[in-house]
Amino acid sequence: MNLKSEIKEINRVGKTTAGRFKKIDINKIEDLLFYFPFRYKDFTKPKKINEIEDEDEINIKGQIELIQNRRSKNRKMNITEALISDETGEIKVIWFNQKFITQNLKNGDQISLAGKIKKNLGELVLMSPIYEKLNSEEKATHTQGLIPYYHSTEKLSQKQIRFVIKSTLKLAGEIKDWMPEVIKKDLNLINLDKAIKEIHFPESKKILELAKKRLSFNELFLIQLKSQLIKARFKNQKGEEIKFNLEKTKEFINKLPFKLTNAQKKSAWEIIQDLEKKKPMTRLLEGDVGSGKTLVAVIAMLNVYYSNDFKQSILMVPTEILALQHFKSITKLLEKESFIKIGLITKDNKKINYEEQNWEKKTKKKKEETISQNCHIIVGTHSLIQESINFKNLSLAIIDEQHRFGVKQRRSLVNKSGNKKTAPHLLSMTATPIPRSLALSLFSDLNISIIDELPKNRKPIKTHIIDEVKRIQAYSFIEKEIDKGRQAFVVCPLIDPSDKLGVRSVKEEYEKLKNEIFKNKRIESIHGKLKPKAKEKIMNDFLNKKFEILVSTSIIEVGVDIPNASIMIIEGADRFGLSQLHQFRGRVGRGEYQSYCFLFTDSENERTKKRLKIMEKHNNGFELARMDLKLRGSGDLYGTAQKGFSQLKIASLFDYKLIRLAQNKAIELINKGELNKYPLLEKRIKLWEEEVHGE
């Protein structure tokens, strides 16, 4: 066995389990070792039974005095009850619907338990604890020390993941440490293999911190190296000068039904100035949901259109639905520009805003060829940079909901641009709230524009946390809004059935709303497993008011615009980060109507409630991201602000100190031209260049 061995070669891992690991992208042992926990439970201090208090989360060790199954009073549930003793006393333990436990655990067994204490009829009970039998040689894996928790899927339990990782952890020694020794020494970084071992099963909190630091530095250092390398590599590219057309730009802006915000004007101006240079633009446009980034993009594309000869712009978006929507909204924005040709290219959709008479018959050409050769503005998904598509003269490429173009994307755009002498201007747009100083140090190869204000006409969305007891009241309010002609979204947490109890799923919620709550309303549901065509139809129907309520998973998160929808209901709101809630909320309040966001939670936890309360008061995406990170703290290594930084599995975007260190080290290395002294690091960077999306 080695790092490249398949998961299924591990002892006791069969085909089925291997298949489940595959679902979370773990195929080889190497993947497994780099699959980091997202939090830990602290069972470093075991308690004696007589020390236990209500609401404690504890680990105890003891002997089973008695264990048996019984039916609950309504006979719907199996209850396993046990009595555990240590030298200080006895405590009752209860599990629900886990009948098999009595086959594993017998009277007299020595066990270790970890879980939460609840008071039940005046008696302290340990509820549904994790259990493991103790044998004298081995340390407990699931109930003692700092216990790792991993993001998982339906059928893969925490116990299974821990078991498999633990049994392969010795192979961590084979991991080649690509970090130059001098840097490790300089910054007191522990070795990579040690970090990997400790991140999974930390010996202590102190060592865990060192492991986090080392692994975080890995990620940040690579990002910085990439920035520096891109900067160096594309330094000599020539760009095409796009002259600013003041008259046409003014004309366009004056015809809009609203005024541009100052932030939009400023960003548009920065972009226009970049376009006028003989170097290709590489700019990142940041702006909260609904801040009007598309319009700024359109102003840039309009200037490309009005420059002297035939020049093209493309706008790439992450999904089919979004592509279609952008195609429509841009067509609408530019409807007064009667000669501008706008095209759409996605896997399933090829359209053009104005059809050449019998063009295809005449030329016998494929539709995408017609579009890529004749349209001024082309909207699409990643299909746009597929092999078969070549543009006539591509001058500006815009990518939505991404931080930057990858190296491969950049190369392929140059090759397809139809222009041998210059490279296209590049603009990335993102709603991820990264403060300017951070963005500058993360992406030192990019210029940054930020839209930090929302259009004035926006009515702030009224946000309310709704307790279970007020649910019915909220529904009747929603019904009234719908009767006024509005539409509503209902977002349910992604089902993570490993802790399915009580979590609302799209299917159940859809049935309930349809059959019980809103019987005379039209309701549809949507989730990520549907085919793109089906999703698109549902979104279109919703846009065209063919139904009133859309029950959804978190897939509606990116971009889709339904101006008539004024209500956002979020079930299990406590399961989402503030940034994510803010993104959901941004789906409403996009039209003229007063909009509402209702956060449902059955959590009794005061901290959770306090966290959600922030949503009622704050409307600024960046502030929310920051507070989220602070509140969820190191308990959640992922931090929701980092969505879109897929390569940041463990580093925090807000760890300025480490980011700065990583930047200094990267610049030093590139400036000295010493990269080739470190072949392992070079190889690591090569890997990244092969990836299509380089952030």
**Structure tokens that stand for 611 in this block:** 């966290």
Using CB under 6 A as the binding rule, whether residue 433 contacts ligand ADP is answered as no
Report the residue from 1, 190, 260, 517 that binds ligand ADP according to the rule CB under 6 A: 260
The answer to whether the beta carbons of residues 201 and 211 sit under 8 Å apart is no
Chosen from ligand ADP, Mg ion, none, partner binding at 457 (C-beta under 5 to 8 Å by type): ligand ADP
Chosen from Mg ion, ligand ADP, none, partner binding at 640 (C-beta under 5 to 8 Å by type): none
Give the chain's end-to-end CA distance (angstroms, integer): 33
Residue window 523-562: x/- pattern of binding to ligand ADP, with contact defined by CB under 6 A: --------------------------------------x-
**3-class DSSP state for residue 382?**
helix
**Structure tokens that stand for 607 in this block:** 């901290």
Using CB under 6 A as the binding rule, whether residue 343 contacts ligand ADP is answered as no
Distance in angstroms (rounded) separating the CA atoms of residues 23 and 524: 28
Instruction: Identify residues 285-324 at the interface with ligand ADP (CB under 6 A).
Output: 287, 289-295
Cβ of residue 422: shortest distance to ligand ADP, in angstroms? 28
Instruction: Identify residues 359-388 at the interface with ligand ADP (CB under 6 A).
Output: none
**CB proximity list for 527: less than 8 A, separation 6 or greater:** 506, 552, 553, 555
From residue 370, alpha-carbon distances to 99, 308, 343, 359, 367 in Å are: 65, 21, 9, 8, 5
Query: In which element (H, E) is residue 193 found?
Result: helix 192-200
Cβ of residue 447: shortest distance to ligand ADP, in angstroms? 18
**3-class DSSP state for residue 597?**
strand
Using CB under 6 A as the binding rule, whether residue 202 contacts ligand ADP is answered as no
Using CB under 6 A as the binding rule, whether residue 141 contacts ligand ADP is answered as no
**Structure tokens that stand for 186 in this block:** 């300089």
Chosen from Mg ion, ligand ADP, none, partner binding at 590 (C-beta under 5 to 8 Å by type): ligand ADP
Cβ of residue 325: shortest distance to Mg ion, in angstroms? 9
Task: Tell me whether residue 180 or residue 559 sits nearer to Mg ion (CB atom).
Answer: 559
Cβ of residue 559: shortest distance to Mg ion, in angstroms? 5
Alpha carbon dihedral 556, 562, 564, 570, in 10-degree steps, equals: 10
Cβ of residue 260: shortest distance to ligand ADP, in angstroms? 5
Using CB under 6 A as the binding rule, whether residue 590 contacts ligand ADP is answered as yes
Amino acid identity for residue 670 in this structure: I
Cβ of residue 406: shortest distance to ligand ADP, in angstroms? 21
Cβ of residue 486: shortest distance to ligand ADP, in angstroms? 16
**3-class DSSP state for residue 197?**
helix
Chosen from ligand ADP, Mg ion, none, partner binding at 289 (C-beta under 5 to 8 Å by type): ligand ADP
Positive or negative: CA dihedral 295, 576, 214, 20: negative
Residue window 403-442: x/- pattern of binding to Mg ion, with contact defined by CB under 5 A: ----------------------------------------
Distance in angstroms (rounded) separating the CA atoms of residues 517 and 530: 25
Instruction: Identify residues 535-594 at the interface with Mg ion (CB under 5 A).
Output: 559
Question: Rg of the Cα trace of the chain?
Answer: 28
Cβ of residue 639: shortest distance to Mg ion, in angstroms? 22
Using CB under 6 A as the binding rule, whether residue 264 contacts ligand ADP is answered as yes
From residue 228, alpha-carbon distances to 21, 221, 442 in Å are: 35, 11, 10
Write the DSSP symbol of residue 514: I
Residue window 648-677: x/- pattern of binding to ligand ADP, with contact defined by CB under 6 A: ------------------------------
Cβ of residue 341: shortest distance to ligand ADP, in angstroms? 21
Q: Which of 271, 302, 303, 304 is nearest to 286 (CA)?
A: 271
Cβ of residue 326: shortest distance to ligand ADP, in angstroms? 8
Distance in angstroms (rounded) separating the CA atoms of residues 129 and 131: 6
Task: Tell me whether residue 322 or residue 612 sits nearer to Mg ion (CB atom).
Answer: 322
Task: Tell me whether residue 105 or residue 624 sits nearer to Mg ion (CB atom).
Answer: 624
Report the residue from 318, 435, 455, 532 that binds ligand ADP according to the rule CB under 6 A: 455
Q: Specify the stretch interacting with ligand ADP by CB under 6 A; choose among 100-108, 125-133, 283-291, 362-370.
A: 283-291
Positive or negative: CA dihedral 257, 260, 264, 266: positive
Task: Tell me whether residue 29 or residue 567 sits nearer to ligand ADP (CB atom).
Answer: 567
The answer to whether the beta carbons of residues 299 and 242 sit under 8 Å apart is no
Positive or negative: CA dihedral 141, 143, 146, 148: positive
**Structure tokens that stand for 153 in this block:** 């899927």
Chain centre to alpha carbon of residue 633: 17
Task: Tell me whether residue 559 or residue 572 sits nearer to Mg ion (CB atom).
Answer: 559
β-sheet bridge partners, residue 40: 148
Which residues would be at the binding site for Mg ion (CB under 5 A)?
559
Which residues would be at the binding site for ligand ADP (CB under 6 A)?
258-261, 264, 287, 289-295, 431, 455, 457, 561, 590
